Amino acid sequence: MTATTVRDSQTAAPAKTQVTGLVVGASRIVISFLFGCHGLQGFGFFGGIDGQGGGVPFGSFPGWWGSVLELVGAVLLLVGLASRPVAILLSGVMAYAYFTVHAPTGLLPLQNMGEPAAVYSWIFLLFAAIGPGRLALDNLIKRR
């Protein structure tokens, strides 16, 4: 190995890490925004839960409280604040939604319309494991 090869491989690793951090951060932001829209459906926005603008009754469990957790969690994850604990919580919320709402009507997500709940659950578990990426308030707090 020449000195040039060693130097090039040492500078390539930080560049790759920066790009990965940006991709993870951008993915977190986009997924959080989409999930926030999903949470707003529980309050009647974007066609609501029935496609006619209906929301879940105020204070009902699990629907209304689930929508609150989805919306607040989406905002926190969007800005990257307490990202890992919020991601674990949201993963659990979506797993709960899958097993209590969707799974009783069919075995597979394609049969029981639970595909979004399953995908969100796994994506949030991934964010809990790998962190928020770049562009997160957690990173600013950690630096101080």
Q: Residue 144 — pLDDT band, cuts 50, 70, 90?
A: confident
Return the sign of the alpha-carbon dihedral for residues 44, 103, 97, 120: negative
Asked if residues 67 and 56 have their Cβ atoms less than 8 Å apart, the reply is: yes
Higher-pLDDT residue of 27 and 53 is 27
Q: CA 13, 15, 17 angle in degrees (round to 5)?
A: 70
Q: CA-CA distance, 88 to 29, in Å (whole number)?
A: 16
Q: In 3D, which of 118, 108, 132 has the Cα closest to residue 20?
A: 132
Average pLDDT value for the chain: 89
pLDDT at 4 over 60: no
How confident is the model over 31-49, as a mean pLDDT?
91
Tens of pLDDT along 25-38? 999 999 999 999 99
Q: Which residue(s) pair with 54 in the sheet? A: 48
How much is the average pLDDT of 60-73? Answer: 92
pLDDT digits (tens, 9 = 90+) for 95-136: 999 999 999 999 899 999 999 999 999 999 999 999 999 889
Quick one: pLDDT at residue 18?
A: 83
C-alpha–C-alpha distance, residues 115 and 108, integer Å: 9
Supply the pTM of this predicted model: 0.83
